[in-house]
Structure 1
Amino acid sequence: MRNDDRDVTYVEQDGGSTAKWFLLGALVGAGLGLLFAPQSGERTRRDITRRANKLRRDAEDRFEEVVDEVETRGRKAKERVEEWAEDVADEVREGRRTIERTANSARDELERRLADARARRRAAVDAVVGDDGGTA
């Protein structure tokens, strides 16, 4: 059964650009409202100057907050990188020690086997030389 009488609603997201335009429109509207308000020109100029100064102070405060935040995040990132680098260096040092231990153990094992082989060879030579009395 088809229902062609249904209402279809589309939801559109604009990523916040509507809010930006709304804020810009509000600022322009406030500025125009000040310019066309029924008050003296000197008072209007004073109000504009006062509000511009407040806006400048607010912008400077916000800028300082952003700078502080960037510095803090940068410092934390640097600390994390330094910790990571130290961890990697520790792992490399431990790996080097493991390789050295393994190499030393392998060398010791080879030296032991070589000494055993030499001893067996000497024993075999002594057995051959000893069997015929040293004459060939």
Structure 2
Amino acid sequence: MADRDNKVMVGALMLLAGGIIGAGVALLYAPQSGQKTRKDISRYAKKARRKGEEALEAVEDFTEQVTDMAEAMGDRAAEILDRGKDMAYGAKKNLLKALEDGEARLTKERTRLAKMIG
């Protein structure tokens, strides 16, 4: 168990030492001063922020358009449903009228046949 802990500790120390050495080498070979690097980072951060805000505005606009479209579709669907109900009511009314007319004809024909037969 102690051997395993030692290996973990040695690995962590080697990783830390490698990071420190790498940072030192990077500073020695850096092509520009720290002040210029900070300015570049600041400019990049401002540019990224501006692009992020533009993207957020685009998402908000898109969301608003989708919401408006969904509301319009809901209104249109309600109109179509109402129209369908009216049409179904009219068709039902016409069908009942046709059935009543057919029933009246049948009654009339039955009466006429009954008189003929006797």
- Bigger fraction of residues in helix: 2
- Deviation for aligned residue 1:51: 0.9
The runs of 5 or more residues in structure 2 that have no matched partner are 1-31
Partner of 1:94: 86
- Deviation for aligned residue 1:79: 1.2
Q: Which of 1 and 2 has higher RCO (CA within 8 Å, sep 6+)?
A: 1
Pick one of 98, 102, 114 that aligns with 1:106: 98
Kindly indicate whether residue 58 of structure 2 is the aligned counterpart of residue 66 of structure 1.
yes
Aligned partners of 2:95, 2:85: CA distance in 1, in Å? 15
Partner of 2:112: 120
Percent of pairs with identical residues: 17
| Amino acid paired to 1:94 | D
Pick one of 24, 41, 65 that aligns with 1:49: 41
Aligned partners of 2:85, 2:36: CA distance in 1, in Å? 72
- Deviation for aligned residue 1:109: 0.4
| RMSD, aligned CA | 1.7
Aligned partners of 2:73, 2:36: CA distance in 1, in Å? 54
Compute the TM-score of the two structures, normalised by the length of structure 2: 0.65
Compute the TM-score of the two structures, normalised by the length of structure 1: 0.57
Aligned partners of 2:66, 2:99: CA distance in 1, in Å? 49
The runs of 5 or more residues in structure 1 that have no matched partner are 1-39, 127-136
- Deviation for aligned residue 1:63: 1.3
